[in-house]
Amino acid sequence: MRRLAVFNSVSLDGYFVDQNGDMSWAHKNDAEWNSFVAGNAQGDSVLVFGRVTYQMMASWWPTPQALQAMPVVAERMNRLPKVVFSRTLAEVAWSNTTLVQRDPAAAIRGMKREPGPDLVILGSGQIVSLLAQEGLIDEFQVALSPIVLGSGRTMFEGVKRKLSMKLLQSRAFANGNVFLRYEPMA
């Protein structure tokens, strides 16, 4: 069975985007962190997005600037298969992207039963919240960033039940980021 993981940067006060939906605060030009991110992007997986995150990623990763700034990550982001959940998009243009306009939970249940690479959600707070409530996420990877935003959105906005987690890994970086891996407890 395929696994579903989430990777998101989160501020010290728990937000994955600020009050304007911006995530630029999470990006640090730091050799140690960039090496970790590039290494974490290794392997085959299917990237999963909601519409807002998809449109943001699709506007950056195929550009020459992205290829220059983070060539390994840009190559992977452009090459890997992608799934975007949206009720409003009519088509998608980013390479290797499949548009899914039906219920994300039902679609992910089906994808997890199919053979193939694991699935990774990037950003996409509404999708994370929905799938976490449904018990469909197997691993949460959080990059805790040393910044307080004051307001924004959490990736668990709308979750209505307690989700207990077991820590699998932690790693601190010189830039202040702390990488945390959790799995849901039954």
CA dihedral 11, 67, 45, 127 (to 10 degrees): 40
pLDDT at residue 72 tops 70 = yes
Instruction: Give per-residue pLDDT as tens, 58-71.
Output: 999 999 999 998 88
What CA–CA distance (Å, rounded) separates 100 from 108?
10
Q: What is the mean pLDDT of the chain?
A: 92
Q: Domain for residue 174, yes or no? A: no
Per-residue model confidence (pLDDT) at position 99:
97
The pair of three-digit structure tokens given for residue 162, joined into one six-digit string: 């307690």
- CATH code: domain of residue 100: 3.40.430.10
Within a domain: residue 56?
Answer: yes
The pLDDT value given to residue 7: 93
- pTM (predicted TM-score): 0.91
In a domain, 168, yes or no: no
The pLDDT score that the predictor gives to residue 61 is 94
Residues 19, 151 contacting (CB under 8 angstroms): yes
For residue 66, tell me if it sits in a domain: yes
Domain membership flag for residue 48: yes
Q: How far apart, in whole angstroms, are the C-alpha atoms of residue 102 and residue 87?
A: 7
- Residue 36: pLDDT band (50, 70, 90) is confident
What gap in Å lies between CA 2 and CA 118, rounded to an integer? 5
Range of the domain at 105: 4-21+30-147
Q: Is residue 73 part of a domain?
A: yes
pLDDT in tens, 83-107: 999 999 999 999 999 999 999 999 9
- Tell me the mean pLDDT in the region 116-122: 94
What pLDDT, on a 0 to 100 scale, did the predictor assign at position 27? Answer: 78
Does any domain span residue 140? yes
What is the number of structural domains in the chain? 1
| Identity of the amino acid at 125 | G
| Phi then psi dihedrals of residue 113, to 5 deg | -80, -20
pLDDT tens per residue, range 129-141 = 999 999 999 999 9
In a domain, 162, yes or no: no
Q: Which of 31-40, 59-68, 71-80 has the lowest mean pLDDT?
A: 31-40
Q: Percentage of residues in the chain with pLDDT exceeding 90? A: 78
Question: What is the reported pLDDT for 41?
Answer: 65
- The per-residue DSSP string of 97-117 comes to EEEE-S-HHHHHHHHHHSSS-
